[in-house]
Structure 1
Amino acid sequence: MNSRLRLSTRYGINTVAAVALVILIIGIAEAFSYRHNWRKDFTANKRHSLSEQSLNVLRDLKEKIKITTFIQKGDPSYEGLKQLLDLYMRESKMLDVNIVDPDLNPNLANQYDIRRHRPPVAFLEGEKGRETLTTLDEEQLTNALIKVTRGKKKIVYFLTGHGEKALDDNEENGLGIVKKLLEDKNYEPRPLMLMRAEKIPDDCATLVVAGPQKDLLAAELDSIQQYVKAGGRVFFLVDPETAPALKPFLENYGIVLGNDVVIDRLSRLFAGDYFTPLLTAYSEHPITKNMQVAAFFPLARSVSTREAQGAHATWLAKSGEGSWAETDLAGLRQNKAAFDAGKDLPGPVTLAAVSELEPVEKKTEESGEPAAGAVVAFGDSDFMTNGRVNLQANADLFMNAIYWLGREETLIAIPPKQTKFSPIVLTPSDAKMLFFLPVIVLPGIVLFVGIYVFLKRSRHP
């Protein structure tokens, strides 16, 4: 009897010790995971991770930003918004985030006067500005952070007077969407009639020449040349057979516009035509080094590079192997196109290039370093129009050039993505398997094992 008691006591002590050890291990693991949090996003489009652009903006924060978000706890979007804000807070200690239920804290809701905005609504406050958001997703949050931290808007002038594409044109061939993209990133796009101005304005961060159909005047070209020489930045988008005076002008910077039209057979596979080359190769220049998706350039000309005094030109983007630059423009008008090894330029064909000048004594406002003039040239302007800018990487390529020319390389990255709904479509056999396996098979196995153990113990008590 005593031996059985001692054995029972020993078993009890062992059980208590085992339970205590398990609790201790769980506690240590919990403490370790709290201090050393690790996450891994296995979703196809990284829907539970911030984009590279958002991460760059957060890492570049140099001042405290207060984010006050009003949303009822019963709102269907509450958990998703909370998770998004948690992702932002993980990446920067400069964020002070407060999620408020307006029904539980009416005094604070009245202070922010949220009656003018239907929750959910967020207020971002920094030393340089304040933004109100009624659409709470990653793209809008990151854009708002850019605005409240930058404060002063950068002005991007778009040249007019030569048949260029218009900012206020919301039709298919206008730039209404580009205007909105720029405004979202705290740029202020303005038209500029240079032929009526003495010079390019001093507040010009970047001058864009978007598809001129006629030549610029000699005085205008001289103004642009002086602007670049003084550290200014210009973005030329020149279509085939337009503005011939720009060809010798750009050659001064080592950029050569081809008298041709680029043909690409590969584009036919993507519901395009032979006159819409795909940009599939990108250089390691900051404008294009993060580009991972092809861009479409409908009706484009080649843009090659050469040596130039006081400037260094390099390619940015090229078409594929199956493309070429067709020089027989008369034949193209008759829908005749065939590669001529003696005349045409074989692919890959360069369609975008950049030229950087030596720095001048003038200092940049951003870094205080000597300002260096720069010219970016694309052999097409149609890719940025309302009907095409949202195709593949077209918008990213245009905006990356704007960021670099505006000396804001922090923004050159993969932008915030849209949440992709990916439903699981089950076949009838998959649906049956999904029912039988967890509902019948697995419980049946557990039941069978239980009966087997019970019968075995009852036979051998």
Structure 2
Amino acid sequence: MAVNTIIVTLIGIGSASSFFLLGNNPQDASTIFVSGCGTIIIIGWILSSTLHISLHQKSLLRTILLLFMSFLLIIMANLIAIEHNHRIDLTQEKRHSLSEQSKSILHSIQEPIEIFSFFPLSSLQEKQIQILAEAVMLETDKISFSFHDPNKEPMMAKQYNITNQQEIIVQKGEEQRRIEDYFSEAHIIQEILSLSKGIKHEICFSTGHQELIIEQYKPLSSMRTILDKLEMQNYTTHVINILEERSIPSSCSTLVIAGPQRDFAPFEIDLIDNHVRKGKNLYVLIDIGVAPILSTELIRFGIILKDNAILELDPKRQVSGGDLSYSVINTSDFAPHPIVKTLATNILFQGIRSVEIDDGSSHSLLTLATSSKQSWAEINYQEGPIEHTSGEDISGPVPIIAIIETEYIAQDAPSKGGRVIVVGSSSLVVDEFTKRSDLGNLDFFLNGISWMSDEQDQLYTRARPDNIQPFMLYAPQLRIVFLVSLILTPLSFLFGALGTWYWGKGYVKK
């Protein structure tokens, strides 16, 4: 009776444990299988002590039962792992985990989103996306991933207009986003965010003043890369001629004035001012010695633009070749701001003027970047001589990028206007610089657009650089490594072999 009670009790405990660990559904075949096998093994173990067999046979039976128990434990561990899938990331930078911002975005998704991954079978990129997919699907059941080889599934590739061997399509209903170059967590989450929000910000580019071209590529005078990248995100782009249309569309959330060579009429300046007063945004990239009216009227936003050219003497800020008109702004040289918080690479300018802020302005102003202490702003850049003249030229560091959050007094009460960014050179956005992966020009401009559009999540979900800390060896350490690996270790083996031979020879003689 006692044996039967023990057996029934063990059956109950085994079944309850497996149900708790593997799921509450009694119809789950794996649960029944595991609990049943475990119960049978336990019964066999108990009964083995009552059988009238030899000690050797009992030992053999229990060995077989233990073997089956080992297999059962392995199966049970895998079933528990499948049911309760958790990972621990032990890397310092949590490179194998989703960021907290990404998790927050994924938790907020309400409608299903499909992600179609097109990569060659078993490629490195496909494996990386599969790891990311597992992490994403642990956070939400609203996103599904499917993986396709464009070579083996040409009809599927044609259906989604896949022209490269590596592309990702993020789809929600009839809307699609296409990722063609960067396949990191940040970029995929960014497209998911764009679709889930369903908000389209319209970015308007001014034309009619010989601004940079956006419709096509042209050496040192186009910004087509910017246009393409904006349209890949949750932005629409529109070209407007304020001089002809005599208005700025109310749908324009941000007006971009990039590299005008001809000046603006006074009524255009008033329209731009009203645009900002209505809470809309303005992004100005203005070159040396152009558009004097526009340059002067930027004082409305607390910006003082002087006609000068900044020349850089700091070797850390120069490019090879010694051209003083080029200036490199390192990521550590920016003032703290969300725009540059995640910027991973330096930005490059060619020909830049000073952008000072008016301390007496009612607006909230910030100098985001300056030139080095060894630079100066040359007033006589056209006639010369090109040399620093104390009392005339501006000594470094010279401000070159300003950020403004406008505030106005309306009916004796302050009211917020739009946001303004002024950069002392349009070279920031020319295709020659924005196409380069070793420069941060493209990311800087897009971060500025995201900040002005109040897309803060896009700023924080951009690609995070891996904080790789190389193992550095100094000269004394290198000498120790050399001695140990190339001298002491071979000598120890040599002497060991000689010793073995010598003592072995002596043993044979005995």
TM-score by length of 1: 0.71
- The Cα shift of 1:126 comes to 2.4
- The Cα shift of 1:189 comes to 2.0
- Structure 1 window deviating more from structure 2 (263-272 vs 379-388): it is 263-272
Instruction: Tell whether 2:407 aligns with 1:375.
Output: no
Instruction: Tell whether 2:374 aligns with 1:322.
Output: yes
1:191-240 CA distance string (max 9 Å, x none): 11001113210110110000111210111111111111111101011111
Q: Counterparts of 1:187 and 1:242 in 2: how far apart (Å)?
A: 29
Q: Please, which of 137, 149, 153 is the counterpart of residue 183 of structure 2? A: 137
Q: Counterparts of 2:371 and 2:138 in 1: how far apart (Å)?
A: 40
- Does the CA contact (< 8 Å) of 2:367 and 2:403 recur in 1? yes
1:152-194 CA distance string (max 9 Å, x none): 5322111111111110130222111111111121322221100
Q: Counterparts of 2:228 and 2:120 in 1: how far apart (Å)?
A: 31
- The Cα shift of 1:398 comes to 1.0
Instruction: Tell whether 2:442 aligns with 1:395.
Output: yes
TM-aligned CA distance change 1:68 to 1:208, over 3 Å: closer
- Does the CA contact (< 8 Å) of 2:312 and 2:372 recur in 1? yes
- 1:423 aligns to what? none
1:256-292 CA distance string (max 9 Å, x none): 1122111112343545621112223111222223334
Q: Please, which of 430, 433, 458 is the counterpart of residue 385 of structure 1? A: 430
- Structure 1 window deviating more from structure 2 (144-153 vs 348-357): it is 144-153
- The Cα shift of 1:149 comes to 2.3
Q: Counterparts of 1:304 and 1:90 in 2: how far apart (Å)?
A: 49
Counterpart amino acid of 1:345?
A: I
TM-aligned CA distance change 1:247 to 1:58, over 3 Å: same
Q: Please, which of 225, 230, 240 is the counterpart of residue 278 of structure 2? A: 230
Instruction: Tell whether 2:337 aligns with 1:285.
Output: yes
- 1:187 aligns to what? 235
Gaps of 5+ in 1: 1-5, 362-369, 420-429, 453-461
- Does the CA contact (< 8 Å) of 1:228 and 1:374 recur in 2? yes
Instruction: Tell whether 2:411 aligns with 1:411.
Output: no
Q: Counterparts of 1:321 and 1:329 in 2: how far apart (Å)?
A: 19
- 1:165 aligns to what? 212
Larger Rg: 2
TM-aligned CA distance change 1:263 to 1:195, over 3 Å: same
Q: Counterparts of 1:240 and 1:102 in 2: how far apart (Å)?
A: 49
Residues 433-448 of structure 1: matches in 2 within 5 Å? none
Counterpart amino acid of 2:381?
A: L
Aligned pair count reads 405
- Structure 1 window deviating more from structure 2 (142-151 vs 234-243): it is 142-151
Q: What SS does the corresponding residue of 2:292 show, helix, strand or coil? A: coil
1:45-81 CA distance string (max 9 Å, x none): x986678996786466454323355778667764343
Instruction: Tell whether 2:301 aligns with 1:275.
Output: no
Q: What SS does the corresponding residue of 1:388 show, helix, strand or coil? A: helix
Counterpart amino acid of 1:311?
A: H
Residues 20-419 of structure 1: matches in 2 within 5 Å? 36-41=86-91, 58=106, 61-69=109-117, 78-90=126-138, 92=140, 94-99=142-147, 114=159, 123-126=169-172, 129-131=175-177, 137-138=183-184, 141-142=188-189, 144-173=191-220, 174-266=222-314, 267-271=317-321, 273-280=323-330, 281-331=333-383, 336-338=386-388, 340-358=389-407, 372-389=417-434, 390=436, 392-413=439-460, 415-416=462-463
Q: Counterparts of 2:141 and 2:462 in 1: how far apart (Å)?
A: 22
Gaps of 5+ in 2: 1-54, 467-481, 505-510
- Does the CA contact (< 8 Å) of 1:129 and 1:147 recur in 2? no
TM-aligned CA distance change 1:136 to 1:353, over 3 Å: closer
TM-aligned CA distance change 1:25 to 1:151, over 3 Å: closer
TM-aligned CA distance change 1:265 to 1:346, over 3 Å: same
Counterpart amino acid of 2:358?
A: R
CA RMSD of aligned residues (A): 4.7
Counterpart amino acid of 2:258?
A: A
Counterpart amino acid of 1:268?
A: Q
Q: Counterparts of 1:165 and 1:224 in 2: how far apart (Å)?
A: 19
TM-aligned CA distance change 1:73 to 1:27, over 3 Å: same
- Structure 1 window deviating more from structure 2 (66-75 vs 275-284): it is 66-75
TM-aligned CA distance change 1:231 to 1:90, over 3 Å: same
- Does the CA contact (< 8 Å) of 1:117 and 1:134 recur in 2? no
Identical-residue share of aligned pairs (%): 24
- 2:16 aligns to what? none
TM-aligned CA distance change 1:262 to 1:58, over 3 Å: farther
Q: Counterparts of 1:67 and 1:301 in 2: how far apart (Å)?
A: 45
Q: What SS does the corresponding residue of 1:227 show, helix, strand or coil? A: helix
- Does the CA contact (< 8 Å) of 2:329 and 2:348 recur in 1? yes
Q: Counterparts of 2:397 and 2:174 in 1: how far apart (Å)?
A: 46
Q: Counterparts of 2:278 and 2:328 in 1: how far apart (Å)?
A: 35
- 1:456 aligns to what? none
Q: Counterparts of 2:167 and 2:340 in 1: how far apart (Å)?
A: 35
Counterpart amino acid of 1:162?
A: H
TM-aligned CA distance change 1:260 to 1:249, over 3 Å: same
Q: Counterparts of 1:130 and 1:385 in 2: how far apart (Å)?
A: 28
TM-aligned CA distance change 1:63 to 1:360, over 3 Å: farther
TM-aligned CA distance change 1:59 to 1:289, over 3 Å: farther
Q: Counterparts of 1:52 and 1:388 in 2: how far apart (Å)?
A: 32
TM-score by length of 2: 0.65
Q: Counterparts of 2:146 and 2:91 in 1: how far apart (Å)?
A: 25
- 1:3 aligns to what? none
Q: Counterparts of 1:59 and 1:202 in 2: how far apart (Å)?
A: 33
1:322-361 CA distance string (max 9 Å, x none): 2221222244x56x233x3322222222110011123899
Q: What SS does the corresponding residue of 2:267 show, helix, strand or coil? A: helix
Counterpart amino acid of 1:297?
A: F
